[in-house]
Amino acid sequence: MTALVLEGRLDAAAASSLWERTMRAASAPVAIDISRVTYCDGAGAALVLAAAARARAAGGGEIIGASEDVGAVIALTRKGGEAAATGQVVARPPESLALVVGRGAVNGARGMGDSITFLGEAISATVLTVLRPWTLRWDDTMRHAEEAGTRALPLIVMLGFLFGLILAFQSAIPMRQYGAEIFVANLVAVSVFRELGPLLAAVILAGRSGSAFAAEIGTMKVNEEVDALTTMGLDPFRFLVVPRLIAAIAIMPVLIAAMNLAAVAGMSTVMMSLGFPLVAISNQVVSWTSMGDVIGGVAKGMVFGAVVAGIGCARGMRTGAGPRAVGDSATSAVVGGIVSIVVLDGIFAVIFYLMGW
């Protein structure tokens, strides 16, 4: 019988370059002669076995001349191949639309159920804590308030100042055409106090602290710390969620006040550069804004704070297993938080309109 002779070092590199030629040559009734093979690894053995299988179909396929070492590698590779004979790399067929929609609906309903359960447990734990304030973990609450509040202040002030500055510049140009530049002060103050201050402060809270809450609690979940709390008879809600919720609600008025003041300072800088004295600017602001604007904005912001912290904690508590789980929770906390506050802001706009504010 004719022999197909392989020789030299039969490693992954050699197997790659020889594969097609060897398979073509093995399409005839030949024996596979490996007596001159000096080294063979898993890829080389796969080449020899594949060539033998191809030749066997044509009536040949005997492997001859294997040294002890090379023969052992080929035998082990063959044994592994036989054990995993059914393993195939198959492309997954695309899922049907009905399956995708059905799974989405089930997951959506399950997620909504989880959210409602979480909301109920969070409200009940928070109410219980408010009724019995000595049960609150004050140290943790203060730490979260410092992290979410004090450390966010430089960012809040910088963004608020720039926002007021940009808004004033942009609105001064069209207002100048009507000789109404002085009303830029009113426009910036009202829009920041009522709308943009709370909204921007909440977006920053979602980006900085909502993600941090989800990641912290998610990591604790992955490390079994949440399970440890449960088996110690400690309520994870009162231990982990309530301090973060209360901290977020408590620091929102401070963040909103800082944002508002910084935005007014930014606007004043622009107005003074246009030649308006500070006293005229402050007169415009004071006479055109009411306490209702400020209180409405702050109240709205506190609700935003609770929602951002609640979503962050809920995503953390629902963290799954695996290396991506904590990252996924943090991402979904930010996205969920921002979407929720914008939706809520719309609802507040309608409520305030109906109330005549």
User: Which residues would be at the binding site for another protein (CB under 8 A)?
Assistant: 219-220, 223-225, 227-228, 230-235
Of 177 and 231, CB closest to another protein = 231
Measured from the CB of residue 224, what is the shortest distance to another protein in angstroms?
Answer: 4
CA 75/CA 45 separation, integer angstroms:
9
Of 133 and 179, CB closest to another protein = 133
Asked if 315 contacts 333 with a C-beta cutoff of 8 angstroms, the reply is yes
Locate all alpha helices (DSSP H) within the chain, ordered by sequence.
12-25, 42-57, 68-83, 97-131, 138-148, 153-177, 183-191, 197-205, 211-222, 225-231, 236, 242-273, 278-288, 291-317, 325-354
Name the token pair of 246. Answer: 């209360």
Measured from the CB of residue 228, what is the shortest distance to another protein in angstroms?
Answer: 4
Measured from the CB of residue 113, what is the shortest distance to another protein in angstroms?
Answer: 18
Of 232 and 291, CB closest to another protein = 232
Measured from the CB of residue 218, what is the shortest distance to another protein in angstroms?
Answer: 13
Asked if 355 contacts 349 with a C-beta cutoff of 8 angstroms, the reply is no
Bridge-partner residues for 282, per DSSP?
none
Of 101 and 234, CB closest to another protein = 234
CA 303/CA 346 separation, integer angstroms:
13
Of 57 and 228, CB closest to another protein = 228
Measured from the CB of residue 84, what is the shortest distance to another protein in angstroms?
Answer: 13
Of 75 and 158, CB closest to another protein = 75
Measured from the CB of residue 293, what is the shortest distance to another protein in angstroms?
Answer: 40
CA angle 200, 206, 210 (to 5 degrees): 160
| CA 251 to mean position of chain CA atoms | 24
